[in-house]
Structure 1
Amino acid sequence: MVNITRAADLSAIGANGGGWTAPVGTTSPGDPLIQPTGLWQPIGGISEDGLTQGFDEDSEEYTPWGYTSPWRTTITKSVRTFGLTAWETSRTTVKSIQYRIAEADLAPDEDGLTTYAETASPLPDRRAWWFIVIDGNVMQGFYVPEGEVSERSDVSHKQDETAGYEWTITAYPDTEGNTVYHADRLPATPEYTGS
């Protein structure tokens, strides 16, 4: 009889989590258990949809004459993205990300009024990003050393809906050629008892 090994604690549910951003070049917090500090600024409340880790890949298949299936495949595109909706739209860090404006330019005047303008020619706004996903004792951390909001969705201001900034963040390669660094706290995989 076949012995099927299962362990419920090895599955993951995004029960909780968070996101932070910092200037490009800021080192990773390194451990999902450690509260990011220093230059790391929180994104705050994220919608119940949580964090979406995206994989966008294309490949080229090479099928030799006389075969009907390829004998080699080459990856021609490999993009990593993270998607989320930031609900704390009044948080200075979040507004800075949404409108590509430096946080210092969002300081209120002596009357408490903050004014800013959106440019028709936005410049790149690359930042470092740190995301964590928590499920009890299972924790996953994703460090993006250089990423940018590449897509923004419309913002609804309605009586029966929380306004949110929905972003897709594209990870770019760092000097080592890496786009995302992982730091996981996971339970040990049970020993396989099959033959």
Structure 2
Amino acid sequence: MSGSIDQVRLWTGADLWVAPLATAIPADLTSPMTSETAWSAVGLLSEDGASESRDEDSNDFYAWGGRLVRTHRSKHKRTITVTCLSDNPVVFKLVNPGSTVATDSETGVNTRTVKVPKSEKQSFTLELFDGDITRRRHFHTGEVTEVGETALGEGDLQAYELTITVYPDENDVLYVDYDNDAANAVTP
């Protein structure tokens, strides 16, 4: 049997970070993505983890006699889905772009004014952990384009399932992974 167990990843923890468009991530993996930077954590994520999905059209072309000679691919779309368990201002803004929160300094009462969602592109980074291995998947441009149903009862946790659509940059780059995984190292 070929292969190595050192190349198998089980992401046992993760954080999702959001920042204004074009916000750079820390220069190295030892520098934390903390509140001292423009990055904000969404908080606790569901144990179900994140999922990445692809959608694209393809059109097959055949020669006379039925032999496949070419496939044309177009309309590629990539999304990331994650469920946020925290109910905080960061998640509120992702779920309700263009809405506001105000806190009365005397009473401590928060007022959330929810408006019809507006398009709001941002930068996202999904930070994954497997023991000493860290991977930061940086999405230069993304947008929450779908929010799942939210349970409001005693039988289920209140959670926000967010689908983030990833937009390519001018060079067709969807995202860049940064990791310290020796199994992925290449030698020149």
Question: Please, what TM-score do these two structures have when normalized by structure 1?
Answer: 0.85
Which of residues 118, 126, 137 is equivalent to 2:121? 126
Deviations 1:105-142 (A, max 9, x none): 3231222222233334x321111001011111333221
Q: Tell me if structure 2 keeps the 8 A contact 1:63–1:69.
A: yes
1:22 aligns with 2:22: no
Counterpart among 156, 159, 174 of residue 161 in structure 1: 156
The runs of 5 or more residues in structure 2 that have no matched partner are none
Select the structure that is richer in strand.
2
Q: Output the CA distance in 2 between the equivalents of 1:19 and 1:74.
A: 34
Give 1:100-179 correspondences, 5 Å limit.
100-101=97-98, 105-110=100-105, 111-120=107-116, 122-179=117-174
Mapping of residues 1-195 of structure 1, within 5 Å = 4-37=1-34, 38-66=37-65, 68-89=66-87, 91-101=88-98, 105-110=100-105, 111-120=107-116, 122-188=117-183
Contact kept? 1:31, 1:141, Cα under 8 Å:
no
Whole-angstrom distance in 2 between the partners of 1:62 and 1:130: 38
Q: How far apart, in 2, do the equivalents of 1:164 and 1:189 lie? A: 34
Greater CA drift, 149-158 or 169-178: 169-178
Q: Distance in 2 between matches of 1:106 and 1:132?
A: 27
Amino acid in structure 2 at the alignment position of 1:82: I
Partner-residue secondary structure (3-state), 2:112: coil
Give the root-mean-square deviation of aligned CA atoms: 2.0
Secondary structure of the 2:93 match is: helix
What residue in structure 2 maps to residue 193 of structure 1? none
Q: What is the number of residues matched between the two proteins?
A: 182
Task: Give me the TM-score of the superposition, normalised by structure 2.
Answer: 0.88
Q: Which has the higher contact order (CA 8 A, sep 6+)?
A: 1
**2:15 partner amino acid:** G
Residue 80 (structure 1) shift: 1.4
Shift of 1:167: 0.6
Query: What is the Cα deviation at residue 189 of structure 1?
Result: 6.5
